[in-house]
């Protein structure tokens, strides 16, 4: 017989307990392995998510050149491709990530159709036809082109037709249409950042004047065709797509280096390497740093708890084996061999648990990766860190087992046989003192800087201190209760209090349960709060259930398209602009105020509140006055100085600067002043000086009427008229519009006709972008070229799409004000969107496309919420929740095990008490009271401490975004907190049931075995 036989038979004899040790040790190793494995997978997830979220063209490696034909941009594409191939071919990492490049060269071109000039990109692109649905032939030779189906339809082009196109400043080139196309995916990443498909889209209003209206790109059959005119500006690109999903965490540093060195090589070939990969990697590093900082801090308390529970378990089990160890010593086993015999089982179980824990840790991390991390992210099984963690856990568990069993194993035979309980040593008290001191330090650190590592450990430290206090208090309290119960003769309470006050190790159980529930309470609260914060942020960030970013010709086209696509009002057009103010980005979001309640979402606010907000954003204003053709002003000039002044009217046209149309020079007396105006909106009158006249202008006049094609602005309502500037002009109305001017200088005098509020009503989130941060009116750049006036009608902490610093305005009013003043701002500064509620048609993108608006990006609140759930803070909170659940499970396992280990002795005690006449009912009551105090009190106390810690600490933690703290808000809901409360209650019930079963099996007959 070998020692192994004894060991294995002993383990089999204590199969249940051995299994629990195995499980606990496996959990300890799992926790140790899970941390680095999950941390790495989480960092990989952030990397993959960020790279995938970025447009493909920005993560591609693009070798490019811009210039005329005789520059590097004009070199044959194969030659340029060779430069790229050579640069990347020498770099194994880049080589493994890139796929076959796509080379393209294009140049701006135009053609005349009637009197209009149409601009487009003339493109030669390798394999273009694979991305197009071509009707007819694919161009494959010089002189051949394909045009888009919609351009062909718009201009009545047909296959075989020849077009004369202009490239640069050269002579027109004749090209034959050999086919027509429709892009399979016009916004597909394969097209890169090029705007090839812009039929009718005015990307740059200036281009309309310079080059005419845009049309879709024309694809050439030969590279030489694009380079036919030497003066044409060529844009040559060789795009190497990067498989971003294959970029591994360990590759990041090497990738940066290789991109930098490849860039130098390519620059040597007079070409440039463009990519946004390094910038994206920089952004990713912030999240990764947060993960690296937070996750280990989360894992430490869990590991400590697991090791602590393991120590308690080993101590209890070793004590249970005292008689066996005594036997070994009695038979003359040397101290070392007796220790090995006493600890052998536990150490073997821990050793066996290590590979199980390693596999479980990697499995749990993989499960987390598959369920909560970015798609395609997996645990790196080749990483040595989890293996090292498993090894460290094994050693730590060995040390913990040795420390826990040291006193028992070193005891003498007689002590072991008598099983004298060990008293708590000074070391335990010192440890508790250190924990209390650390908790105090953490509280101070948190008070000063909540982001410090010590502050991050505050919650677990509070949990430990709570455990110590509750454990000690319960002992004292039970001793007092015992005295009282003895005095009153209350047997049930006496039994319960005696167990709690006297039985050794009970306070440790109380401590562990309190700590576990405190951790669980904190984690559950933090998870719920952060989940709600994420949901709120997702809602605020998007503003509606679905948000489509679109390409539209102009805002009016967008509005028309949305009306056509969603006539039921389930979607609405939105235009927004972001401007930097005082180092902060302020968003101005223009929404149809009357649809706000129906389409938008505003966390914490009802649809009715949104409707009410919409009403405030769109107060009643003057009627629009549409004019066209002849416009006549009936004016009486009472006084006129020496300065010559022209009476002009301002006509606004959508998307354009207002047009000044002269009605003639002012003359004293009553006259009709007439001019021809384009179709548009009457938005004001102007008294315009002659350019060279800077002298004193004096006028006193009444505008008695304005008429154009049946429209007639109300000249008698003073609220509808307002001078643009107050310098030298007074405006009154009393049946007629009275203007009095007395000023010097070159300035003209403009009086606006207000068919919108003079200052745009705005709902403001955050501080006003003004010197006075609490100003009720301010000016800011919005949809006009120049700053516009705003009047605050509502303030809030956050607004849909505007976020925590931005403003909501009525789109119609905002555009009208822009058209009426300086004209709309540069279209590139505006972002067009379509917001849709959950009831909007699923095929809205297709409907919008049919209406001429292309969807370039789709976002949903759920999707964004999910994405935020993969950011660093959420990943850390998720691990914390997992740690809390594991802690609670450990505590429950410990409670059940402790009950199980002492079960036989307790049954005999109960049986003896039954023989003495104590009723089973009384025993049951005693057991219930004992466990209510032993489990119930720590559960309650731990939970309260956990939630309290969360309330105290969470305001300093980033809940959603790294580096940003947000106010802690919690709305009662069925979430992790409720789950944790239910779990705590279930633990108590299970413990009670198990304990009460002891009494049921403690019949007096049990004692016969002792006789």
Partner 1 sequence: MAAIGVTCRGLVSIYRLEGYDVVALAGVDLDIAPGESVALLGPSGSGKSTLLSVLAGLMRPAAGRAHVGEVDLAKAGEPDLAKMRSAQVGVALQGAQRNLLPYLTAEQNVRFAQRGAVRGGPKPPSAREVLNLVGMAGRGRMRLKPGQLTPGERQRLALAVALANRPGLLLADEPTSQLDTNARDDVLAALDSVHRNGTTVIVVTHDPDVGARMGRTVTIRDGRVGGEGRSGEEFAVVGRDGSVHLPADVLEMLPPGTYLRVIPQKDGSALLVPADSAAAVAAAEVSSDYAPTGYAPGEYVPAELPQRYPSGDTHRLPETATSYPVQSVPSQWNSDTRQFPGTGSGPTVGDGVHTGRRPADYYGEER
Residues that bind partner 1 (CB under 8 A): 1, 3, 5-6, 9-10, 12-13, 323-324, 327-335, 337, 412-414, 417
Identify which of residues 320 and 714 has a Cβ nearer to partner 1 in the complex.
Answer: 320
Structure-token match 């951790």, residue found: 519
According to DSSP, residue 373 is labeled S
In the complex, minimum distance from the CB of residue 314 to partner 1, in angstroms, rounded to a whole number:
19
Three-point CA angle 16, 19, 23, nearest 5°: 140
Q: How far apart are CA 108 and CA 120, in angstroms?
A: 6
DSSP one-letter code for 736: S
Integer Rg of the chain from CA: 40
**138/903 with CB nearer partner 1:** 903
Closest approach of partner 1 to the CB of residue 299, in Å:
38
| Cα gap 593→776, rounded to integer Å | 20
In the complex, the smallest distance separating the C-beta of residue 329 from partner 1, rounded to whole angstroms, is: 7
Distance CA 156, CA 174 (A): 17
Q: 858 with 845: CB under 8 angstroms?
A: yes
State in angstroms the smallest separation of the CB of 413 from partner 1. Answer: 5
Which is nearest to 78 in space by CA: 124, 113, 36? 124
Residue 991 half-sphere exposure toward CB, CA atoms < 13 A: 32
123, 269 Cβ separation under 8 angstroms: no
Give the residue with the Cβ less far from partner 1, 9 or 378. 9
Structure-token match 């097209």, residue found: 191
Nearest-approach distance from CB 916 to partner 1, in angstroms = 23
Q: In the numeric block, which tokens belong to residue 497?
A: 């209090």
* DSSP conformation class of 336: H
Alpha helix locations (H) across 804-871?
811-820, 844-850, 861-868
Contacts by 963-970, CB closer than 8 A, 24 or more apart: 963/286, 963/290, 965/450, 966/533, 966/537, 967/797, 968/529, 969/529, 969/532, 969/533, 969/536, 970/525, 970/528, 970/529, 970/532
Beta carbons within 8 Å of 301's beta carbon, 6+ residues apart: 457, 460, 463, 519, 883, 887
How far is the C-alpha of 473 from the C-alpha of 931, rounded, in Å? Answer: 16
Closer to partner 1 by Cβ: residue 18 or 316: 18
Residue with smaller CB distance to partner 1, 416 or 547: 416
What is the smallest separation between the CB atom of 325 and partner 1, expressed in angstroms? 11
- Which of 549, 604, 537 lies closest to 868 in space, CA to CA? 537
Sequence-separated (6 or more) residues with CB below 8 Å from residue 388: none
* Contact call for residues 755 and 652 (beta carbons, < 8 A): no
In the complex, minimum distance from the CB of residue 908 to partner 1, in angstroms, rounded to a whole number: 15
The residue (of 327 and 491) whose beta carbon lies closer to partner 1 is 327
Q: State the minimum distance, in angstroms, from the CB of residue 373 to partner 1.
A: 47
- Cα separation values, 15 from 91, 323, 885, Å: 57, 18, 26
What are the backbone angles phi and psi of residue 631, rounded to the nearest 5°? Answer: -130, 130
Q: By C-beta, is 11 or 591 nearer to partner 1?
A: 11
If the CB atoms of residues 323 and 355 are measured against partner 1, the closer one turns out to be 323
Nearer to partner 1, 327 or 436 (CB): 327
Classify strands 102-113 and 116-125 as parallel, antiparallel or unpaired. antiparallel
Q: Which residues of 988-1002 are buried (b: 16+ CB within 10 A; e: fewer)?
A: beebbebbeebbeeb
Q: Considering beta carbons, is residue 328 or 937 the nearer one to partner 1?
A: 328
Cβ closest to partner 1, residue 18 vs residue 263 = 18
State the minimum distance, in angstroms, from the CB of residue 1 to partner 1: 4
For residue 333, the minimal CB distance to partner 1 (Å) is 5
Closest approach of Cβ 332 to partner 1, in Å?
Answer: 2
CB of 479 to partner 1, least distance (A): 18
Q: Which residues pair with 730 in a beta bridge?
A: 740
State the nearest-atom distance from the C-beta of 26 to partner 1, in Å: 24
Q: Would strands 144-148 and 218-220 be described as parallel, antiparallel, or unpaired?
A: antiparallel
Nearest residue (CB) to partner 1, 11 versus 128? 11
Going by C-alpha positions, the residue among 273, 89, 53, 267 that lies closest to residue 871 is: 53
Give the C-alpha separation, 929 to 935, whole Å.
10
Nearer to partner 1, 326 or 379 (CB): 326
CA–CA dist 163, 665 (Å, integer): 49
Q: Residue 93 or 1007: which CB sits closer to partner 1?
A: 1007
Q: Which lies closer to partner 1 via its Cβ, residue 1 or residue 691?
A: 1
Q: Which is nearer to partner 1, 331 or 774 (CB)?
A: 331
| Least distance CB 306 / partner 1 (angstroms) | 29
CB of 476 to partner 1, least distance (A): 22
Q: Burial of 279 by CB count in 10 Å (0-12 exposed, 13-18 middle, 19+ buried)? A: exposed
φ, ψ for residue 682, nearest 5 deg: -75, 125
Q: Based on CB atoms, which residue is closest to partner 1, 100 or 418?
A: 418
C-beta of 911: minimal distance to partner 1 in Å? 19
* Shortest Cβ 48–partner 1 spacing (Å): 53
Comparing CB distances to partner 1, the nearer of 331 and 427 is 331
Q: How far is the CB of 410 from partner 1 (least distance, A)?
A: 10
Question: Cβ(196)–Cβ(217) under 8 Å?
Answer: yes
3-state SS of the chain: helix, strand, coil percent to 5?
Answer: 50, 20, 25
781 closest CA partner among 723, 832, 826: 826
What is 473-487 written as a DSSP string? HHHHHHHHHHHHHHH
């Amino acid at each position: 017989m070998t020692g192994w036989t004894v060991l294995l038979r002993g383990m089999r004899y204590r199969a249940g307990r051995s299994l629990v040790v195995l499980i606990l040790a496996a959990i300890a190793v799992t926790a140790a392995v899970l941390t680095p494995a999950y941390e790495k997978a989480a960092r990989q997830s952030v990397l993959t998510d960020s790279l995938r979220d970025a447009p493909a063209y920005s993560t591609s490696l693009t070798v490019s050149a811009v210039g005329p034909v005789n520059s590097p941009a004009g070199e044959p594409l194969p030659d340029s491709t060779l430069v790229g191939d050579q640069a990347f071919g020498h770099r194994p990492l880049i080589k493994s990530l890139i796929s076959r490049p796509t080379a393209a060269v294009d140049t701006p071109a135009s053609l005349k159709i009637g009197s209009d000039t149409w601009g487009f990109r003339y493109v030669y692109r390798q394999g273009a036809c694979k991305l197009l649905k071509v009707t007819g032939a694919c161009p494959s030779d010089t002189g051949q082109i394909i045009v888009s189906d919609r351009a062909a339809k718009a201009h009545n082009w047909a296959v075989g037709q020849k077009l004369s196109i202009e490239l640069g400043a050269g002579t027109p080139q004749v090209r034959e249409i050999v086919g027509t196309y429709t892009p399979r995916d016009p916004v597909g990443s394969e097209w890169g950042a090029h705007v090839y498909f812009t039929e009718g889209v005015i990307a740059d209003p200036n281009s309309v004047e310079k080059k005419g209206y845009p049309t879709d790109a024309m694809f050439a059959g030969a590279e030489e065709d694009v380079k036919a005119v030497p003066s044409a500006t060529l844009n040559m690109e060789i795009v190497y797509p990067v498989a971003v999903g294959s970029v591994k965490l360990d590759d990041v540093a090497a990738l940066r280096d290789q991109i930098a060195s490849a860039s130098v090589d390519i620059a040597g070939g007079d070409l440039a390497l463009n990519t946004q990969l390094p910038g994206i990697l920089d952004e990713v590093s912030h999240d990764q740093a947060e993960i690296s900082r937070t996750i280990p801090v989360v894992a430490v308390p869990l590991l400590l708890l697991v090791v602590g529970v393991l120590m308690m378990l080993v101590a209890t089990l070793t004590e249970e084996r005292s008689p066996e160890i005594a036997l070994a010593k009695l038979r003359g086993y040397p101290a070392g061999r007796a220790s090995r015999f006493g600890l052998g089982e536990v150490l073997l179980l821990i050793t066996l648990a290590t590979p199980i824990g390693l596999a479980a840790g990697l499995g749990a991390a993989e499960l987390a990766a598959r369920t909560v991390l970015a798609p395609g992210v997996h645990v790196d099984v080749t990483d040595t860190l989890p293996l090292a963690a498993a090894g460290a856990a094994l050693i730590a568990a060995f040390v913990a087992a040795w420390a826990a069993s040291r006193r028992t194993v070193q005891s003498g035979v007689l002590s072991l046989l008598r099983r004298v309980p060990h008293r708590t040593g000074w070391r335990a008290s010192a440890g508790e003192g250190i924990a209390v001191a650390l908790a105090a330090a953490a509280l101070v650190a948190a008070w000063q800087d909540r982001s410090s590592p010590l502050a991050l450990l505050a919650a677990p430290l509070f949990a430990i201190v709570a455990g110590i206090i509750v454990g000690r208090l319960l002992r004292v309290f039970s001793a007092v209760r015992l005295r009282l119960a003895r005095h009153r003769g209350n047997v049930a309470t006496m039994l319960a209090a005696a167990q709690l006050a006297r039985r050794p190790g009970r306070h440790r159980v109380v401590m562990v349960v309190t700590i576990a529930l405190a951790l669980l309470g904190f984690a559950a609260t933090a998870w719920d709060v952060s989940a709600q914060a994420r949901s709120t942020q997702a809602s605020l960030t998007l503003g509606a259930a679905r948000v489509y970013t679109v390409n539209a010709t102009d805002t009016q086209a967008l509005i028309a398209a949305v009306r056509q696509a969603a006539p039921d009002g389930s979607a609405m057009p939105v235009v927004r602009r972001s401007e930097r103010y005082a180092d902060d980005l302020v968003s101005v979001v223009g929404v149809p105020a009357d649809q706000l309640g129906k389409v938008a979402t505003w966390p914490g606010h009802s649809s009715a509140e949104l409707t009410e907000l919409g009403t405030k954003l769109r107060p009643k204003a003057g009627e629009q006055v549409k004019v066209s053709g002849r416009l006549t002003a009936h004016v009486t000039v009472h006084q006129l100085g020496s300065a010559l002044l022209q009476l002009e009217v301002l006509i606004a046209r959508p998307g354009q600067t207002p047009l000044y149309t002269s009605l003639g020079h002012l003359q004293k007396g009553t006259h009709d002043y007439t001019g021809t105006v384009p179709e548009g909106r009457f938005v004001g009158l102007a008294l315009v000086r002659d350019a060279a006249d800077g002298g004193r202008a004096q006028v006193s006049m009444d505008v008695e009427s304005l008429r154009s094609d049946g429209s007639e602005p109300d000249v008698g309502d003073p609220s509808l008229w307002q001078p643009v500037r107050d310098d030298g002009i007074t405006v009154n109305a009393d049946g007629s519009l009275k203007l009095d001017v007395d000023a010097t200088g070159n300035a003209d005098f403009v009086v606006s006709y207000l068919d919108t509020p003079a200052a745009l009503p705005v709902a403001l989130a955050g501080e006003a972008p003004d010197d006075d941060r609490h100003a009720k009116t301010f000016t800011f750049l919005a949809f006009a070229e120049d700053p516009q006036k705003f009047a605050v009608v509502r303030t809030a902490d956050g607004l849909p799409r505007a976020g925590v610093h931005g403003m909501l305005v009525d789109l119609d009013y905002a555009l009208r004000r822009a058209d009426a003043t300086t004209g709309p701002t540069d279209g590139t500064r505006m972002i067009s969107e379509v917001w849709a509620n959950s009831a909007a048609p699923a095929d809205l993108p297709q409907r919008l496309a049919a209406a001429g608006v292309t969807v370039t990006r789709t976002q949903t609140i759920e999707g964004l919420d999910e994405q935020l759930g993969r950011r660093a803070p959420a990943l850390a909170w998720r691990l914390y929740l997992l740690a809390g659940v594991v802690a609670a499970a450990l505590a429950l396992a410990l409670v059940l095990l402790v009950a199980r280990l002492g079960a036989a002795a307790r049954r005999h005690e109960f049986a003896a008490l039954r023989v003495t006449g104590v009723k089973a009912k009384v025993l049951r009551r005693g057991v219930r009271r004992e466990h209510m105090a032993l489990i119930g009190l720590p559960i309650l106390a731990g939970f309260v401490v956990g939630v309290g810690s969360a309330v105290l600490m969470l305001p300093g933690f980033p809940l959603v975004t790294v580096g940003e703290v947000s106010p802690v808000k919690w709305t009662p809901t069925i979430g992790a907190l409720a789950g944790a409360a239910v779990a705590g209650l279930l633990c108590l019930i299970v413990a009670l049931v198990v304990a009460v079963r002891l009494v049921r099996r403690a019949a007096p007959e049990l004692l016969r075995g002792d006789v």
